[in-house]
Amino acid sequence: MKNIDTLVIGAGPGGYVAAIRASQMGQNVTIVEREFLGGVCANVGCIPSKVLISVGHRFEQTKYSEDMGVVVQEVKLDWARVQEFKKGVVSKLIGGVEGLLKGNKIDIVNGEAYFIDAHTVRVIDGDNVQTFTFKNAILATGSRPIEIPTFKFTERVINSTGALSLPGVPEQLVVIGGGYNGTELGSAYASLGAQVTIIEGGTDILAGFEKQMTQLVKKSLQRKGVEVVVGASAKGVKENENGVVVTYEVGGEEKTVEANYVLVTVGRRPNTDEMGLEAVGIEFEERGLLKVDKQCRTSVQNIYAIGDIVSGPQLAHKASYEGKVAAEAIAGEKSIVDYLAIPAVCFTDPELATVGYNEEQAKAEGIEVKVAKFPFAANGRSLTLNAIEGFVKLVVRKIDGILIGAQIVGVGASDMIAEMGLAIEAGMTAEDIALTIHAHPTLGEITMEAAEVIIGRPIHVVKA
């Protein structure tokens, strides 16, 4: 029996960050992980998928750079080296996480945790069983891919994890689900030479983003030869020696498509089962999510929950943010969650990024707003990159000009959105942004230019 102050279950981007912050606050911390440090994000999610996306961009750009004077006779892809590079990136990150935990004097325990009561957990790792008693616990157990009954996972019917470690770039790939994961991975494999079909049940792909933004992604997918089928229902799959035959229905008509693999990306299920949480008295919301307050505290006062197992978008940076709040709350601080300036990014081609309110959301809440856009095509740095598609859109309150939202589509959107998040957090106005000197030539200037449009003093577009 080991007695500790704070027990963290799950060592993903929420758990390990929570553990470090708890240790910084003077708590004696133990972290339990059943699979691998860094969680899904670092091992089989955010990081390795971005490796494939980056390789896809590099491969495609090398092949089609004649306009910029770069003529390559033959471009070859060494898939084995791609996989080695991916493993190296993951290994460095995981080693870094382990070093940070040990450097903060956090005990790392391998195994599966099962609650005995609100202050006791049993951790099982094969034949090794340990019991811990704790004052407080933070649950950060993450999520796993949803499996459709008619698309059971096999060697050919794969989830996002399987898609990252294929033996080679497939000739044909079918993707079920046009959300973040499906569109990112579908686009990446299309860049690498695969013939991709995306089957989406909704009226459009990437439902969380404005249509003005997703239209540019769909044009890019079309250029890559990707077929996007919306309003479609995936019915089933048959495997053969060469791959799969996927049956789907669209517009009342049943169709089939053949491929080497079918990637199923229809969402993720929270890992809240088989932990004994019900016996402890923790209250659940729908879909297996845990009910928490603004300090990430569950219905059991000394147990907190963060990340994919609570409501909200399943984002690594959301989990990390909540982990800090929970650890600080345990230490007696008045930290609470505030999601207004939490960004969402999709690493498609071009990239999509949004933070705060979009125009529709603001109007739905009765907020009178002014909006303005500035195109990448009018920016010098975009021209030098030969990446002129996209825009920055700002949403400000009409009454005082304070920025409450921003949407960016274009090269570098994932990095540019941070400035907009900071501006929202700081309560800055469009004029504040316009008066901030931005280096030239940079993509960051586009945010300044958009702010100048919204205050009625644009320089590099003609005032309407």
Q: How far apart (Å, rounded) are the C-alpha atoms in residues 364 and 120?
A: 46
Give dist(CA 214, CA 216) in Å, integer.
5
Question: Can you give the residue range of the structural domain that contains 440?
Answer: 350-454
> Quick one: 279 and 257 in the same domain?
no
- For residues 47 and 54, is the Cβ–Cβ distance under 8 A? no
pLDDT band, residue 286 (cuts 50/70/90)? confident
Tens of pLDDT along 7-59? Answer: 999 999 999 999 999 999 999 999 999 999 999 999 999 999 999 999 999 99
Among 40, 70, 243, 240, which residue's Cα sits nearest to residue 158? 243
- Do the domain assignments include residue 459? no
Q: Are residues 82 and 177 in the same domain?
A: no
For 142, the 3-state DSSP assignment is coil
Last residue of a domain, one of 266, 286, 321: 266
Contact between residue 231 and residue 203 where contact means Cβ atoms under 8 Å apart: yes
164 occurs within a structural domain: yes
Structural domain includes residue 152 = no
Q: What angle do CA 102, 104, 106 make, to 5 degrees?
A: 60
We report the CATH number of the domain holding residue 86 as 3.50.50.60
CATH code of 442's domain:
3.30.390.30
C-alpha–C-alpha distance, residues 325 and 129, integer Å: 31
Tell me the pairing of strands 143-145 and 344-346: unpaired
Q: Are residues 189 and 230 in the same domain?
A: yes
State both tokens at 275: 């932990």
Amino acid identity for residue 29 in this structure: V
Query: CB within 8 A of 268, min separation 6: which ones?
Result: 143, 144, 145, 146, 308, 314
Positions marked catalytic: 440
Give pLDDT tens digits for 42-55: 999 999 999 999 99
Domain boundary among 223, 250, 266: 266
Q: Please give the Cα distance from 270 to 287 (Å, whole number).
A: 8
Do 317 and 398 share a structural domain?
no
- pLDDT range class, residue 305, cuts 50, 70, 90: very high
| Residue 259 domain-assigned (yes or no) | yes
Cβ(172)–Cβ(260) below 8 Å = yes
Tell me the C-alpha to C-alpha distance, in Å, between residue 452 and each of 312, 341, 370, 417, 460: 33, 22, 12, 18, 9
Same domain, 246 and 277: no
- From the list 104, 79, 88, 93, the residue with the least C-alpha distance to 40 is 93
State whether 296 and 252 are in the same domain. Answer: no
CA–CA separation, 307 vs 18, rounded Å?
11
Q: What are 403's two structure tokens?
A: 């920025």
Claim to verify: residue 378 and residue 318 sit in the same structural domain: no
224, 242, 266 — which closes off a domain?
266
- Asked whether residue 55 is assigned to any structural domain, the reply reads yes
Is the same domain home to 294 and 253? no
Mean pLDDT of the 254-267 span: 97
Q: Given a cut of 90, is residue 242 above it in pLDDT? A: no
Same domain? 15 vs 61: yes
Q: Residue 325: inside a domain, yes or no?
A: yes
Residues 151-193 have pLDDT tens digits of: 999 999 999 999 999 999 999 999 999 999 999 999 999 999 9
Domain total in the chain: 3
DSSP code of residue 289: P
Same domain assignment for residues 118 and 258: no
pLDDT at residue 243, as a whole number? 96
Are 29 and 90 in the same domain?
yes
Q: One-letter amino acid identity for 254?
A: E
Q: Average pLDDT, whole number, for the chain? A: 97
Note whether 226 and 137 are within 8 A (CB): no
pLDDT at 320 over 80: yes
* Domain shared by 221 and 291, yes or no: no
